[in-house]
Amino acid sequence: MPQYFTFFVAVIVAAIGFPLYFEETQGQWPSVGAQVDSKPQKIAKVSNERGRKVRLKGDRRGHYLTEARINNRSMQVMVDTGASMVAIPEEDARRFGFSGDRSKFTGKAHTANGVARVAPITLDEVRIGNIRVRNVRAAVIERGRLDVTLLGMTFLNRLDSVSIEDNTLVMKQ
CA distance 151 to 138: 9
pTM confidence score: 0.72
CB-CB contact of 32 with 108 (8 Å):
no
Q: How many Cβ atoms from other residues are within 10 Å of residue 96's Cβ?
A: 16
Phi and psi dihedrals of 92, rounded to 5?
-75, -40
Model confidence band, residue 155 (pLDDT cutoffs 50, 70, 90): very high
Residue 129: C-alpha distances to residues 44, 69, 134 (Å): 12, 9, 14
Long-range contacts of 100-107 (CB under 8 A, 24+ apart): 100/143, 104/140, 105/140, 105/142, 106/24, 106/25, 107/22, 107/23, 107/24, 107/29, 107/139
Q: Which of 51, 43, 41 is nearest to 74 (CA)?
A: 43
Kind of pairing between the strands at 149-151 and 161-165:
unpaired
Structure confidence at residue 47 (pLDDT): 64
User: What's the pLDDT tens digit per position in 132-149?
Assistant: 999 999 999 998 888 899
The answer to whether residue 38 scores a pLDDT higher than 50 is: no
Q: Are 145 and 37 within 8 A, CB to CB?
A: no
Measured from the Cβ of residue 47, the count of other Cβ atoms closer than 10 Å reads 13
Interacting residues of 87 by C-beta distance below 8 A, sequence separation 6+? 20, 32, 33, 109, 138, 139, 141, 146, 149, 150, 152
Residues 59-93 have pLDDT tens digits of 988 899 999 999 999 999 999 988 888 999 999 99
